Amino acid sequence: MKQSFSKAIVQTGYGDRNVFEVQHLQVPPPGPREVRIRHTAVGVNFHDIYVRTGLYKILAIPGIPGIEAVGEITEVGSEVPAWRVGQRAAYVDRGYGAYCEERVVAENLLIAPPSILSDQVVATSLLRGLTAAMLLEQVYHVKDDDLCLIHAAAGSTGALLVPWARHLGARVVGTIGQRPLAPETAALCEHVYSYADAHWSEQALAEYGPHFQYICDSVGAPTLEGSLAVAARCGHVALFGQSGGMVEDIPVRALAAKSLSVTRPNVFDYLSDDERRRAMTRSFIVMVERQGLSLPEPVSLPLDKAGEAHKMLEERLTQAPIALIP
């Protein structure tokens, strides 16, 4: 039985970036349906910040945060016929534990990433790619000529949603906050509003009327009211994040005037169903390999600098996603 030690970022409490401690922990051997994986890149997500501050109190403390990574398999369990030592694999794990050099992970979470992508790009795109698949093909299936509003189109997830929705035949209108839209994303949007302007929804109503069939909103407090105002009769609003602040509760009766559906999807719930997970993974891979979906190039930091990576996201010091390199 092989035993080894792994450097890991351990979250010792909830709070500021000082709750992170570098520790060296023993890696157990994999169980029958598990593999041991040595990470080459670990993705950093907004979700990790919510876990660190305690907004989401789901990580058992002390614990290792991090939900996605890519690496090389170093040992396989006795009932894992599909994977072998030396293979490249990536995963998203709602059970956390990715901020480390090496760990054990359940075999059913693994995917073989497209070979055209670097490890850093895979580690910072898998969760966002699966989120885009969830939003555009599971929560609501976007179809030809749907008028869609994609908030935070300049963010890492927004930049995937815009071309993907266009690929499905939708007309896309975007919104941005502080960061500018990349020219290739701007070229795919009919119009771009700034949600920093409190009147963005009035402008959108004047130009488009309340005719948006589908709205993907990850900004929250500054945008949700406007999202509901511009939604079409029988339209759908997916509130999937709150990077701009927590939203007020919406009374269900407020949805009756236009028969609106508002959902609050969480990608982990969609991934917990095997059939959906396979469909979402397949869609993401097809979008990358056959449709040329372009994924943002991340900035890389050493694993020890996890706290700095959080600071860069929290203080908007980078527009690129961040990969930690063990």
Ligand X SMILES: NC(=O)c1ccc[n+]([C@@H]2O[C@H](COP(=O)([O-])OP(=O)(O)OC[C@H]3O[C@@H](n4cnc5c(N)ncnc54)[C@H](OP(=O)(O)O)[C@@H]3O)[C@@H](O)[C@H]2O)c1
Under the rule (CB under 6 A), what is the footprint of ligand X?
A: 45-47, 127-128, 131, 152, 154-158, 176-179, 218-219, 240-244, 265-267, 313, 316
3-state SS, residue 152: coil
The b-or-e profile of 269-301 (16+ CB within 10 A means b, else e) is ebbeeeebbebbbebbbebbeeeebebbebbbb
CA distance 76 to 169: 42
Taking the least distance from each CB to ligand X, the nearer of 38 and 47 is 47
Taking the least distance from each CB to ligand X, the nearer of 163 and 244 is 244
Nearest distance in Å: CB 192, ligand X = 11
Q: Report which residue's Cβ sits closest to ligand X.
A: 177
Which tokens hold the place of 13? 């409490």
Strands (E), the chain: 4-11, 20-27, 34-44, 68-76, 88-92, 102-106, 147-150, 171-176, 191-194, 212-217, 231-239, 261-263, 299-302, 322-325
Taking the least distance from each CB to ligand X, the nearer of 188 and 219 is 219
CA distance 77 to 209: 57
3-state SS, residue 159: helix
Nearest partner of 307 among 20, 84, 65, 89, judged by Cα: 20
**Angle at 149 (CA atoms; ends 138, 190), nearest 5 degrees:** 125
The amino acid occupying position 313 is: L
Nearest distance in Å: CB 228, ligand X = 18
Taking the least distance from each CB to ligand X, the nearer of 73 and 322 is 322
Taking the least distance from each CB to ligand X, the nearer of 36 and 128 is 128
Nearest distance in Å: CB 140, ligand X = 14
Taking the least distance from each CB to ligand X, the nearer of 104 and 133 is 133
